[in-house]
A and B are shown apart, each in its own frame.
Chain A
């Protein structure tokens, strides 16, 4: 192509190779301590989730009645911290059904990450398709789609999710779907805004003037350039989705027993907050850490990718 010749001729003038947007962003991301902390926690979470069967000391759904000399809601017993060696070791104690809480929390990490990523992934795919179509085509399509999104945005997201789950029936898959559906409007709106501004750029006009098909302009030029805000919003959105899923499970609408899910673990033991605080504390901490990790990372990404700030 002719452009490659032009670049080749310019290259010697520049001291260094021009960095791509993503490389710059990554470098800026690594310079932020909060983002680094977020990434570290997230990495640890992913490892925990992936290695849950190895790291867990017990079967997360098996009741230990008759298996060990333990009673329900026993507080944590760690031999290293002075718990007598003749007692079976349980890092986070036991829950109301005499199951090992530590193992349940490890397996819960899988579920929460899965819920966050899948539901946000679903919302991004559907949302950006709707947003891009709406922004690029304009006219009555735009009015119709954005009107629909406005209606959805008018409901508090958790209430809308509860409504959807009530209609579809409780369960993990339906929770995923409900949270996914509820998050669509945000991504659709962001995508539409990006497309609207990119549509006016010279390179798009150039494409159009030489007769590039609409589909190729949309997917080849506009979408990749509109991704930046989606990535930021998506990362922050995962945190919100995990919280929403936990809230639904807390209410008994999400993951069904005996599935280990942090929200339902807190919900089931809510009345034991004073008698067995470890049952609320550990799943609560796990939730806090996960949400914090995604929020830190999302904030870092926003700063790193913000074009105006860079300019």
Chain B
């Protein structure tokens, strides 16, 4: 008997607009100890499935039909009390936002101990013992201290480990993980992923792993279900799906992911055209039809399409929901876009020399008042040195809190530097706040922002927002000419002209981001800063926006400063890379230099932490301990020494590492001699 058996499950939400089917005909069989991944873009219904299993769909959600059997018991008809006994003891869950999932006003101890106390009626002291043991099992240092802490006193990674410990306290046979690492930094994510795999082996727990990240599936799951618009469109063993994706959508997803062999000039990404249909506007027949290159009228849109088994490769465990799967070979589709002309790199546009930015913080503790030292400094940026040339793409990479966004703010004049120089076209703008800059300077340096829902003012139309920029920068002043230029900018970002009259909430995330790009290019900038422009977008949309940005940059020969935490994207589009950690540059060089030995140990760990959606690629596993220290109290010596797996010794704790030139323009700040770093094996290797 399978552990979990879901048959033809349909879940709907009931809103003022009517019934919205979130999940349609979902079937899944999960054996004990097995791990299955549920992957898809936002709005595909993957999280709804998890909540359906938990029978927790809120006031407006409900199961329309189908069955969910857990160990042979039907969950959909279970009474409240039986359901309660099941939740948390047999089926447990780990959530996306660990901070939000923990009660802010209760200690970790009381939140952990109540689980066995409620489900197994154990005594207080036994519950305490078990909680301590599990905290040790999830590799949290000093469990006693963690027990006494409140959630906000722990880091994000620690919080998620506590949530995992809480889920495992009653030794459940099924663990649901809903995007458990999405809110975490990439090096922390790597640790959590490894922990989950380790624990599921150790406790024999079956996993249902929900994620938008296809790459993570490879490292965590035995089998994968790919969902699209409420349906499973492809399902099978991980290797089979990753090697022979049969559904055009799955295949399209892989072409959207910047794999290590992708390159912006020779092997550009191929975005999926169009956008995800809204739940109440799904097309007849195949939901993916309108976006599919293999769409055949009268066939694909004629009837509902069933999911059926396919035989590919050596595996028979592979199903696909495509009526034409036998006639088509998705790999016939273009997997590599037409190669594009590389931009000729020109003169130096931006030069950063010894730039630093300190924030003053008032220390209001009694000790500080008594000793009189009320001021402390957050060193957000320290001794930054790098340059960018015309037409070049320079990426700044680092995890949250590394100071990359602070640098962007200083560059834009929203903050001023506390030391050093930032020269744009030869003029030092580091200490020039935005109101002291001329219109020309402002126009020549523009920014694309991260959050698509925040980048446009919801109260004004798209057209008026773009027109304002055009007038403000003095590009045009005549009304008709402004309008004409605005419309041409919409053409530039491939949006229909009548979007000018729309308001931001009528646009999808990708479209908003396009408008953001149009706005940045309105004043013919010589340099554009893009602060994580695609990290909030779905994979297929992100690929399209990335390509658009690259095309416009190519055409205008603009310098692009690309700020990102995502090494895959950076490898794909950057010419040169700056790796930052705690406000300092750890390594900088060309993309090829940074991604190959000699590495800075931090770069090495970062590379290893990024999941790659290609089973042919082998990776060395390097998992960093702990979380980045606070910028308020940075470690002495090398900022990375507290987590560095290659720490040499006391010298790392006491002395700033020297900047060693490993090549022309390739600099590594580390105490380890270059020869030794050169001897390090590459992190990524393609298996033959």
| Chains A and B form a bound pair | no
Interface residues of B (CB under 8 A from A): none
